[in-house]
Every structure is written in structure tokens, then in C-alpha cells.
Chain A
Amino acid sequence: MKQLSTKVTSNGHGQDSSYFLGWEEYEKNPYDEITNPTGMIQMGLAENQLCFDLIESWLAKNPDAASLKRNGQSIFRELALFQDYHGMPEFKKAMAEFMEEIRGNRVTFDPKKIVLAAGSTSANETLMFCLAEPGDAFLLPTPYYPGFDRDLKWRTGAEIVPIHCSSSNGFQITETALNQAYQQAQKLDLKVKGVLVTNPSNPLGTALTRRELNLLVDFITSKNIHLISDEIYSGTMFGFEQFISVMDVLKDKKLENTEVSKRVHVVYSLSKDLGLPGFRVGAIYSNDEMIVSAATKMSSFGLVSSQTQYLLSALLSDKKFTSQYLEENQKRLKSRQRRLVSGLESAGITTLRSNAGLFCWVDMRHLLDTNTFEAELDLWKKIVYNVKLNISPGSSCHCTEPGWFRVCFANLSEEALDLALKRLKTFVESTDCGRMISRSSHERLKSLRKKTVSNWVFRVSWTDRVPDER
């Protein structure tokens, strides 16, 4: 229908992907411990539901924040009228300090360089509008968050060219892969404007290493392009290592206040660390004045509700709360991840060793009929429809190897998680593949990320087979 734009008539919204279809299936038959115990368990939603009690108890002790009062006096009018796209100063200050706290106060964030947005979805799109023309490309390491296909490309006309990462080295970004992606873009006649990474990674659940970050900064320096670091999971780091932000690396390389630092931008949000996706709070952080200025104007299209800015500026300004929250959040995420990983192991399923995020990158290659994406999709359908677990297939994340799945662990109760693991174990044991697995017969590749040797996977070597001709 020529009446509507091509954005409507094409599939650029990316929502025909299995990632979203799994959600739809879940919506039809959602699990509930009491009312629908045989329903589908949602493990495809990267939500953090583990620490709500901490926020709720803070709200109970600090009723003014939600009641739009300051020192007992109503500030409703002030908030009702506040639509300044520069954002509430107290809120930006609180966000800056929170971001600093997450990074061990090793780096500073200037509130004036923060642009608020209605969620990181809005922040990422806005950055694309600022950095790329239609037809320009950004390089993204695979596997990546399926939503990027919509967020970065749909209305902006920008293109994504994947930086292929593989399980052979724990999906780490290599110089070869970066260069290959860059050349691929050029072959496609696309002008590369930058690289976008999610750190910690969705869907991998791993934080980028210092080596990878150095590599990225060197790469964008030599190619004179931008680097966007989506750090929305920065507060979910639960491993032994501390989170290294791209800002840490700029500091360590003494690149602060240089031309390169103007091409490095961070995206943040409270949807994952604080578990508040409904409140729509995101931010862009940039050292480039022109970008801050343009993005600020563009934020008119997605401002954060003043009611919400007020509540969260009070919450985040309470340093006792934030430090307790971050510590407890880490603890609970770690314990939940362990529960998932050990449960999977007892079903003969291993995961990429993770140290962050709300999900694990699970290796189910041994359960595939063939080493193909068709087989992955078949397996996924079985898991969704028969086992009744909604998990996300690697292909929806643009993974180049079939058989990997993202499984979330922080959006459900322990009981639901245990039930999910039980169902999965039953399923695996009932398949031929499950019976064939011999844990000791093959050596699993060591992840370069590890400081300690752990979690070796021993599995039948499907990689020796020739991919099925289909």
C-alpha cells in the first residue's frame, strides 16, 4: 500500500524474529505456580526481579519520593510542568554518581554530558541518528541483542555489519574479526561509522576483557570512527573480576580529553541493574558537545517522565541505599546463576562461563540433529512447545554457530527455575542425543576469559561433521 511509508510496509521492525515469537507463545500460556503450573516458563526475558524488596522497603521509608513531595510539601505543580529536555539536574547528578559507583569510582561522569532518554532503546536510536546517515553502517560483535535490528536500523536507515565471534575462543572479539567486518562493510559499499558493543554482553553474560577493550579503542582510533559502549548491564557484574568500562580504558590509555574520547559514547539504563524497565529511564553519555546538544534536542521525542525522574533522583541520591543495593544485587545474581548452571550441568548441558548479566549462554549443540540452524529451530520449537520453556535461540541473536541458546535466570522465582531445570532434564534424558553424551570423551575449549580453569565441556564432536546440505 503506497499510502504508508516503507518503514511500515517492510519488515524493518525485525519483529518477525523467533525472539519475539517465543514471547507471543508465552503470552498465550504463561506459567503460574498456582493457577497454571503446566504453563510455559518465561526464560526469554532479561528482567531483574531479584531485588525489588530492597527498593520497596526504601519506598516505604521514604514516602515523599513517590508522593511528589519535598520535605513534606507537594511539588506536584513543579513536576507537572517540568519538560526541560536538559533533564532534572538532581536526577542527572544522581545518575552520574550511580554510574561512577558501579565503576568503583575509578572514573568520573559529568552530569552535563548526560542526555536522558526514555530507555536505552531510545538512547541507542538517538545515537544512530546523530552518528550515521541512512546507509552508513555500525559493526556489532555477534551474537547480539535481537532488538538492535529494530533499534539501530529501522527508522534510522543505518546498517549493521556483524563482527563474527565464535565459541572457539569464548566469543571474544579479535583483531581479525574486526578487520574482516570492516572489509565486509566496504565490499557492501557501506561507510562504517563506528562499532557498537554491549558490555557486559547480551546474550553472552560476559564482560569484555581489558584486552578486547584496548583492541576496540585502538581500532576506532586507527579507523577514525566511533565506539558506542552499551553498558546497561554494568551493575549486574557478579564475577570475581571487576567491571571494566570503556571509560576506564580511556583513562588508562591517557586518552581523556583527546579527540578520540569524543568518539567514545556510553549508553546506560536503569532497566537491568535496578529492574525498572517500566519506568523508561535511559541515558547517553558523550564527550562530544555537538552530540550532547543534538541528542538533547532529539530527546524531546522520548523524555523521561518528571514524576519518575523525581522518584529516582531521590532513590539514587541515597548512597547508603545504592551501595547496599549494588552489593546485594551482585550476590543474588551470582547465586541464581550458579543454580541455573549447576542445574543445566546435571542435565549434561554446559554454558559459556559468565560473570555478568541476567542470563547464560547455553551450549545445546549436542542436542541438535545436525549442525544447522534448521536443526536449532527444530530444537527450539521442541523446547518451547513440548518442554514449555521460552528460551532464545542463538540464530535470533545472529550467532554464527547453531546450537547456542540464551536462558534467563533473574526474572522468575527459584521454584519456577527449579521446575524449568527439571523439565529440561527430563527432555534431554528422553532424547537419543542425551543418552549418547559422554562427558569425558572430548575436551572442551578453554575460554580465554577465564582466570581460573573451570567448566570444561566434554561432548561429542559435532564440529567434525560436514554441515548438512539443506
Chain B
Amino acid sequence: MLSSKVIGESHGQDSSYFLGWQEYEKNPFHETFNPSGIVQMGLAENQLCFDLIETWLEEHPQVLGLKKNEESVFRKLALFQDYYGLPAFKDAMAKFMGKIRGNKVNFDTNKMVLTAGSTSANETLMFCLANPGDAFLIPAPYYPGFDRDLKWRTGVEIVPIHCVSSNGYKITEDALEDAYERAHKLNLNVKGVLITNPSNPLGTSTTREELDLLLTFTSTKKIHMVSDEIYSGTVFDSPDFTSVLEVAKDKNMDLDEKIHVVYSLSKDLGLPGFRVGLIYSNNEKVVSAATKMSSFGLISSQTQHLLANLLSDERFTTNYLEENKKRLKERRDRLVSGLKESGIGCLKSNAGLFCWVDLRHLLKSNTFEAEHSLWTKIVCEVGLNISPGSSCHCDEPGWFRVCFANMSDQTMEVAMDRVKGFVEDNNRGTQKRTMWNTRRRSLINKWVSKLSAVTCESER
């Protein structure tokens, strides 16, 4: 009676990525009310610069009040459902995106399609570029949500481009060719490559060399290049962010109709609740079709109005981008040093809201089962929700994504203490019960083991 999309499991939500969240929801850390709860480090949110936006909102009360020059704009907004989007908002987004790229790239609002979040943008692009059964090549490890966003309702397949720690997970020509061949062996028609730049979960921006390689590859194979640049405003360290559009310009490919960029305000501005995403494409047919498809996920006009005003304030955006980088870097540095104190290393990162952490030395064996059991321990006993590399389709067991921008400084310290405690226990080779472990035991007893993958038992 129901479609295979409902009965099947391709929504991808049985992955540990989502299951960890569920465990957190049952027992969330709170400094005052639940200090032994699970600390959420699996959510790539940017909570570091809300004060800047709040200040702006206080200084501009008209905007939220749906007024412009003392006149109400409520009616106009209430009726505004034009899928071409609010012109003032698109202008502001174009300027903002240009600024993030040091104005090395200019964005034409006619090539922009607004969508309810990058989740919607990515799916819409798949509907436009691929037929059911076609494939996109994606460098692994990649964002777990892609399994749902790109594949579920579209019928498109993902073939991973294997990247490895031995070279810092850089995309190589061999890896690209290998992925392409594997797709063909599986009888899949490759329609393009999709990268996230800066990368989730790695926290690194794609180098100019890699982008050059990618564009050469996609243009040779005559396939599409989709660059999800939703973390572009989170590059806090060198090298500077390089957009695929910049490299395309250098290669005289700036009008190439097979290059598409996805953006969103969920990460840079920390506004995932407002559902703001977009597709940017030189391809008229794609822009035209995607615009019509955006009917299925338009941005609330109330929100477009708010953000048109916020983002057209140049003083605000310049200050915000600078401060955002500063605070992200500080927070990242704290995480890295905290982990280092416990003998844990990370991939050197320059962007994003998370680090790619190396816990291989804590595995009982170099297997994904061992990774899973380590993860279970970290969630249930250490009380940190972090994301295991396997959920990101990483080829090597032992890597974890740990978020750092979605919590207060104090919470970060708590998390670092727990890591220290865990590693010390581990080194001692015993399951010594520390005070917070004992408190946790009683909580564990209350947990219902609904998860097929995670079972938190009281006696370890």
C-alpha cells in the first residue's frame, strides 16, 4: 500500500550518525540541570556569533516588525510566493557570497535559485542533473545526510571516491579514475562529481590543485561538477578559501554550464532553523527547472525579508565574517590542544565546525567493529556524542568527527575533562569507575535499548 520509499530504508536514518543524536536527546548535558548528561559533539552547528546578530536585530527593530520606513510590509510579504525569490534578498546573498570569496568571484542573481536549505538545494540539483540509476561520485568521507538527500527520492546512486589519511585525504587522479571505473562496473551512468568544500567531516578546504584536477576530470569526462560550499564562511586559517568558481575562472571555464555551487546560511550564520539555501548555476536550463522545483521548498518571505536586510548591511557582514573566523579558530585550537593533552591527534584543519579526530590508537583492532564498540563506549560511558567515521563512509576505521562550535566554553572544558579521564582509564587498562561513571550507571540502567546498533550496558 505504501511506496518503496516508505518501506525501504534508503532514508538512511538508521545510521549511527542519527542514532547518536537520539541517545543524546534522551539524556542531554546541561551545565546546571544535567551535568552528567551526554555532551553533544555530533551536531555541526555554529553557535559562536549569535550575539552579533542579536545586537543587529536590537538596532534594527523595524525589520523583524515587518516594517520599512514606518510602513508595514506585512501584506506584501504575506503574498510574496514568487519562486524567483525576493530580489533584495538575492542581491544581498550575491554580495555576501562574493565577500566570502574575497570578491574574486561575482555572483549573478539570475543564476541563483533559492531553496529551503541546502538539503533541498542538493536534492533539487540531483533531480535536475540525474535520472534514477545514474550516479554521482563523492569523495569519502562525506556528510552522512547525503545518503538521504541525494539518493532517497531521486533514485540516484553515490559512488565514493576513496580518500585516505596517508595523504591527508587529498583527492587524487587515481582515486577519481578508480571511482569512475567502479561506477561503470556497477553499470551506473556517472553524471558528475559532488564535493563539499570546505569538507564535512574533514574540516579542510579543497586545495587549488585538487580543484584544478577535479575540473579537468569532469570536463574531460563531460560530467557535472557540484560544489557544496556551505562552510565557505568558516575558513579560519590558511590556506584561504578557494571556490570552484575561482579556479573555473582561471581555467577559462567560468561560463561552463556543468559547474554548480550550493550554498546555505545554516553554517556560516548559524541559522539552520530559518531554512535558507541556494543553487548557483551557469546552466540556464538547470536554473529554469530548479526554479520551478523550488516551489516544493520555498524560503518563507518573512525570513527572506529579515535576511535581505541583515546581509545588505555591509558593515555587519564584514565584521561578522571576521569575528566568526576568529572565534572558530579559537575554539578549534582549544579542542585540538585539549585532545593533544590526551595524546589524541587530529587532521590539520583550517575550516568547518568540527575536527577529524584520530582515535585509531584506541581501537582494539583495526576494524569497523572495533570502531563501533569504541564509539558506543564514548557515547554511553564517556558521555560524548561524536560521529564515527564509518557513518561518513570513511575507509579506515578509527576516525571520528568532533564538533566544537555548538557549545559554550564551559561545556567544551567538561568534554575535554571527560576525554582525559577516558584516555587515562584506557591507558590503565581498567574500567575504573570514576565518579561521573557511577552516576552514569544509574542513567544507563534507565536507557531503553531501542537501537539495534548501540546497547549501553551497565556492567562493563
Contact = CB atoms under 8 A, between A and B. Distances in A.
Interface of A: 1, 3-9, 13, 15, 47, 49, 52, 55-56, 59, 63, 66-68, 74, 76-77, 79-83, 118-119, 121-122, 125, 129-134, 150-151, 154-155, 224, 226, 263, 271, 275-280, 288, 290-291, 294, 297-298, 300-308, 311
A224 B293 CA distance: 32
Interface string B258-293: 100000001000111111000000010110010011
Interface stretch (B72-80, B197-205, B343-351): B72-80
Contact of B13 (A6, A118, A279, A297): A297
Closest 3 CB pairs of A and B: A306-B273, A278-B301, A302-B297
Interface stretch (B2-10, B159-167, B176-184, B450-458): B2-10
Contact of A68 (B5, B45, B64, B301): B64
A278 B153 contact: no
Interface string B1-42: 111111100010100000000000000000000000000000
A74 B54 contact: yes
Nearest to A85: B119
A307 B79 contact: no
A15 B258 CA distance: 24
A305 B299 contact: yes
B275 A305 contact: yes
Interface residues of B, number: 70
A155 B293 contact: yes
B66 interface: yes
Nearest to B295: A121
A305 B302 contact: yes
A80 B302 contact: no
Interface in B376-394: none
B81 A277 contact: yes
Nearest to B297: A302
A339 B6 CA distance: 48
Contact of B153 (A49, A77, A298, A308): A298
B296 interface: yes
Nearest to B45: A81
B120 interface: yes
B274 to A, nearest CB: 5
Contacts of B66: 59, 66
Contacts of A304: 275, 300
Given A294-B11, A302-B116, A7 B270 contact: no
A29 B7 CA distance: 50
A49 B128 contact: no
Contacts of B299: 280, 305
B interface, over-half SS: helix
Which of B2, B152, B306 is packed against the most chain A CB atoms within 10 Å?
Answer: B2
Contact of B285 (A8, A47, A79): A8
Contacts of A300: 117, 119, 148-149
B414 interface: no
Contact of B275 (A3, A154, A291, A303): A303
A129 B1 CA distance: 12
B125 to A, nearest CB: 10
B231 interface: no
B228 interface: no
A379 B285 CA distance: 33
B437 interface: no
Contact of B127 (A5, A76, A79): A5
B119 A5 contact: no
A77 B128 contact: no
Contact of B273 (A83, A118, A154, A302): A83
A301 B81 contact: no
A66 B119 contact: no
B1 A118 contact: no
A307 B272 contact: no
A301 B116 contact: yes
A298 B149 CA distance: 9
A129 B123 CA distance: 14
B75 A125 contact: no
B131 A5 contact: yes
Interface in B174-230: 191, 222, 224
A224 B134 CA distance: 34
A470 B4 CA distance: 45
